[in-house]
Amino acid sequence: MKELIATVKSNNLIAENIYEITLTLPESVGYIRGGQFLNLAVGDKVHLLKRPLGIVKVEENDVTVCYQLKGEGTHIISEKKVGDKLSVLLPLGNGFVIPENVKNVAVIGGGVGVFPLISVLREHAGKINFNSYIGFRNKNAVCLLDELEKSNFLTVVTDDGSVGKKGNAVSAYFEDKNKVKPDLIIACGPPIMLKVLKQKLIESGDKTPCLVSLEERMGCGIGACLVCVCKTTSGGNTRVCKDGPVFDINEVEL
């Protein structure tokens, strides 16, 4: 884990309100696992918190993340030009640790939750069979299809049916699951999506191991400040930034 001054290599709008930024790091930070994240500074002295963003791509010392325009901070980042410098802290969190014997993975992603899943597809491409179920709001929100197509099988759905079938990623997976029979499910998306996924797995008695990546407003990003906690099913708290963001779906309250 290092804090470095990165150089903006590209920063482009790729879907409605969604930008993709590639940062060139001045040095290697070692291996980055799929599902890990970085903390990106806004680059001024007004916004003191870094923005936690799931890593999408790593190519040598170039790291790519995507972000949705939300407030002032992301708007300022979206105005960064090629060659601008931004402070970045990475890699953070545990990422998706996929056991060696797992060969067939179902990927369930919704909205901006798709981004960290792409780094997993890239990390294990050719070694694991990926069946991906990806939901977007509508056709304007669809992005990174070239990356998602690294899956062995890809189903894209939208809330309004403007691309693919009308529906959501969780339902799309459940329609297919008896055919796919995954060894593992990995998922990232809005809280309601993960909650429904957990409910459906429980209701259908599906014991397939399932890892979910969570999002929370963060402070330090390294586990010191206890801002971004999530309740565990055993009655305690766990730190999303340090102990997660990836958890066994049965170990966290969603």
Partner 1 sequence: MANLSVELCGVKFKNPVIAASGTYGFGREFDEIYDISKIGGLSTKGLTLEPRLGNPVPRIAEGPSVILNAVGLQNPGVEHFIKYDLPWLKEKGTVIIANVAGRTLEDYEGICNRLNGLVDMVELNISCPNVRAGGMALGIRPENIEEVTQITKKQLTKTPLIVKLSPNVESIATNAKAAERGGADCISLINTLTGMVIDIEKRKPIIANNTGGVSGAGIKPIAVRMVYEASHAVNIPVIGMGGIMTGEDAIEFMMAGATAVQVGTANFYDVNAMPKIINQMDEWLNKHGIKSVKEIIKTATLNG
Stretch that binds partner 1, among 6-14, 24-32, 155-163, 224-232 (CB under 8 A): 224-232
234 by Cβ neighbours in 10 Å (0-12 / 13-18 / 19+) ranks as: exposed
70/166 with CB nearer partner 1: 70
Does 253 participate in binding partner 1 (rule CB under 8 A)? no
Is there binding between residue 230 and partner 1 (CB under 8 A)? yes
Stretch that binds partner 1, among 19-27, 106-114, 136-144, 235-243 (CB under 8 A): 235-243
The answer to the question of residue 76 lying near partner 1 (CB under 8 A) is no
Q: By CB under 8 A, tell whether 1 contacts partner 1.
A: yes
Q: Does the protein bind partner 1 through residue 25 (CB under 8 A)? A: no
Q: How far is the CB of 95 from partner 1 (least distance, A)?
A: 16
Choose the stretch contacting partner 1; rule: CB under 8 A; options: 45-53, 58-66, 130-138, 245-253. 45-53
Pick the closest to residue 143 from 168, 178, 113 (CA basis): 113
Residue of 68, 87, 104, 208 interacting with partner 1 (CB under 8 A): 87
Among the candidate windows 14-22, 29-37, 38-46, 115-123, which touches partner 1 by CB under 8 A? 38-46
Closest distance to partner 1 from the beta carbon of 92 (Å): 11
Binding footprint of partner 1, residue count (CB under 8 A): 31
Considering only 50, 57, 124, 177, the residue that binds partner 1 (CB under 8 A) is 50
Binding residues for partner 1 (CB under 8 A): 1-3, 41, 45-50, 73, 87, 89, 216-230, 236-237, 242
